[in-house]
Each structure stands twice: as C-alpha cells, then as structure tokens.
C-alpha cells in the first residue's frame, strides 16, 4: 500500500538533501515510481554537475485523448540544513522541531506529483500525456534543469510548484539574475609597526559595498552582497578581500545597468585605496514574463477554479526551474503551493495544502485533457 501524502512528505523531509547530496531522496522517488509500475530513467547530470544525483524523468503516454500534454517538474534538493530535520505536525501544520529548514521547498511538490500520478493511475483518468521531471541542484542556479535534455519532453507546456505563497497564486514573471564576484588585492603590512606601508583590501572592498545600491532598488530590481572574506590576522593590513553579490530585475536592461554601476563603484573604490580589483559577472538564470491571457496561464487558472481556489497573479523575486524551460522555448508556469517562510527555521506548510495541491494537479490534468492541443 502506498503511503499517505502526509506520511511520504514527512519521510522525505526527514532526509537531508542539500544540493549535490540528494541521492537518498532520488532513490525514494525512483522506488515510488517503480512501485507504481512506471518506467523511468536518470540522466548523467550527476557526473557533469559534480553531484550524486541526475535528472529523473518519467513519461505517461496519453490515453485516448487529444488534449494538451503537460509536464510537471519538482526539484529534489534543498538549501543546506543547519541542524537535524525533525518534521512534526502541530495543529494541522508541518514544521521542523529541530530549528532549521523543513524542506517543503521543494519536497511538497515532489510528494504532490507522486500522489497525483498514483491517483491518476488508480482512477484510470483520461489524460493527454503527463511527464514527470525531478531535477537536482535547483537551489544552486537551476543547474539540474539546465543540464536536462529538454528535447526529450513531448509536452511543450509545463508547471512547477515552487512559489512560497498561498495556493491560487500564479507567477507571471521571474527576474533576470546576474552573479558578481569581486576580489580586491592590496598590500600586506604589520598593522602596528608600519601600517602606512599597507594597502587594506578590506577597506577598499568595504568602500565599494557601501557605495552599492543594495536591497530593494526599485519595484522591479534588487541587489545583495551575500558573502565576504579576507585578511589573515588582526595585526596584518589585509592584502586580500573577496565578496560575492547578485542582481535581479524583472527588466533585463535594469539588471545590466545596475551590474555596470557596481563594477564602476568597485573600480573607483579600489583606486581610492590604491588597490586592484578583479571582477567577474556570470548569468544566474534568465527571466520570463507571461500574460494572463496566455494559454498555460489560463490552463492553470482553470485548474485552480475547478479545485475551489480563486486565481491571483504575481511576479516572483526568485528563480525556479521554470526559468530554464521558458528560456528554451517551452512554456512553464510556476504555481504557489502553500509552503511558507521557505529557507528559514520557521518554514512550514499546512497538511490541507498538501492535499489541496493534489486536487489542483488532477484538475490541471483534466483541464489539459479537454484543452485544444498547443
């Protein structure tokens, strides 16, 4: 007998699965698919991404139905937990009793996909084709989805459940993101005996950071400095200082302009401190934008209404696997699934929302079966 939605969710949450160390969760997903009698495979992304888990792919061929095939995607990794994970149910809400993340991001989606497919098979529901994809390393710049051969997908319309908000919210857009790495090089000297001979890389880097526009830059744009390191000892003028930053914007032009501004600020701060700076800018993930009238969005709204939810629309400040698929010419919509305060020790999700998202998924399959082929 298959475990209940809640039992499977508690089981998966209790398994730590930070990016690159997702093997146990992937094995459980594969075993579940096998128990359902489904064929599945895992690609070679683990080796290519220096991890232990590849993309797990499973296809259910269409029944006698001429609707729109869809794919569903969830990721098997989480941000790194900082303690044990002890999921508990309190007043109908699943939390972690051990003071770190719960892992509902994205194990809630994993469980919902598996349970929905189990019911799809048990109830012999007609469908136009359903594909399942479980990706690794989503939390580190969507690397698993990026490594997946998207041409394997028959469906051109997909859905991920990776938005921390109340069920009903449909994500119409996600930002363009850039990663920035800075390394300041000064000159070491004894801080007490001859500090005037030194050139502080930390002071120069700090001046640059102080000049950056960080946080909520405008309604579409944000920037952050997340990690900084440097120096060797408290009595040595620091020769090196490095820090990492990111920029996100719904408007790609704004992202590019803010990156340029930060590079110029870093160069100016380095010159004032008589230091040198090396900088690197890398793409993190591409943004996208849907309209409410777009067919995949209308399909999602139809399914939500069938399941008893009022659709609402929002822009996300985060990235998801949907970004990768949209950049590759597919249409992939991100739906909120009720997980709250993700990436924090306060992360939680209501049991009722887990069950509700199963109903939303089945409604999505039904609506797609009735839709005109894309």
Q: What angle do CA 141, 337, 255 make, to 5 degrees?
A: 35
Residue 244's nearest CA partner among 280, 215, 220 is: 280
**Is residue 208 within 8 Å of 266, Cβ to Cβ?**
yes
**Is residue 182 within 8 Å of 93, Cβ to Cβ?**
no
Both structure tokens of 324 = 């990768």
Query: What does residue 24 show for φ and ψ, rounded to 5 degrees?
Result: -65, -40
Instruction: For residue 288, give the H/E element and its range.
Output: strand 288-289
**Is residue 295 within 8 Å of 333, Cβ to Cβ?**
no
d(CA 87, CA 345): 11
d(CA 126, CA 284): 39
Which burial class, exposed, middle or buried, applies to 65 when counting CB atoms under 10 A from its CB (0-12, 13-18, 19+)?
A: middle
Catalytic residues: 77, 138
Q: Other CB atoms closer than 10 Å to residue 233's CB: what's the count?
A: 10
- SS3 label, residue 343: coil
């Amino acid at each position: 007998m298959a475990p209940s939605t809640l039992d499977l969710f508690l089981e998966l949450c209790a398994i730590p699965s930070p990016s690159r160390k997702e093997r146990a969760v992937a094995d459980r997903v594969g075993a579940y698919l096998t128990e359902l009698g489904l064929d599945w495979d895992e690609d070679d992304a683990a080796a290519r991404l220096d991890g232990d888990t590849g993309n797990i792919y499973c296809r259910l061929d269409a029944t006698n139905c001429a609707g729109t095939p869809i794919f569903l995607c969830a990721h098997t990794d989480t941000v790194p937990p900082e303690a044990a994970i002890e999921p508990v149910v309190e007043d109908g809400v699943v939390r972690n009793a051990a003071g770190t993340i719960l892992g509902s991001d994205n194990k809630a989606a994993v469980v919902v996909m598996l349970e929905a497919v189990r019911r799809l098979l048990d109830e012999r529901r007609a469908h136009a084709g359903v594909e399942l994809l479980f990706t690794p390393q989503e939390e580190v710049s969507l690397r698993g989805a990026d490594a997946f051969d998207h041409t394997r997908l028959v469906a051109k319309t997909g859905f991920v459940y990776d938005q921390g908000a109340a069920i009903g919210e449909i994500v119409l857009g996600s930002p363009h993101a850039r990663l920035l790495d800075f390394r300041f090089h000064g000159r070491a000297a004894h801080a007490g005996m001859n500090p005037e001979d030194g050139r502080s890389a930390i002071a120069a880097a700090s001046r640059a950071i102080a000049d950056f526009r960080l946080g909520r830059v405008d309604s579409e744009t944000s920037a952050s400095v997340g990690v900084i390191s440097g120096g060797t000892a408290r009595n040595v003028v620091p020769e090196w200082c490095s820090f990492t930053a990111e920029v996100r914007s719904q408007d790609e032009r704004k992202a590019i302009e803010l990156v340029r501004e930060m590079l110029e600020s870093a160069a100016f701060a380095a010159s004032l401190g008589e230091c040198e700076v090396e900088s690197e800018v890398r793409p993190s993930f591409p943004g996208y934008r849907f309209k409410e009238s777009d067919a995949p969005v209308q399909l999602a709204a139809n399914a939500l209404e069938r399941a008893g939810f009022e659709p609402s629309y929002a822009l996300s400040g985060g990235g998801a696997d949907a970004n990768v698929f949209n950049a590759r010419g597919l249409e992939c919509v991100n739906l909120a699934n009720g997980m709250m305060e993700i990436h924090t020790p306060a992360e939680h999700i209501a049991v009722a929302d887990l069950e509700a998202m199963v109903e939303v998924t089945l409604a999505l399959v039904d609506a797609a079966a009735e839709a005109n082929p894309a």
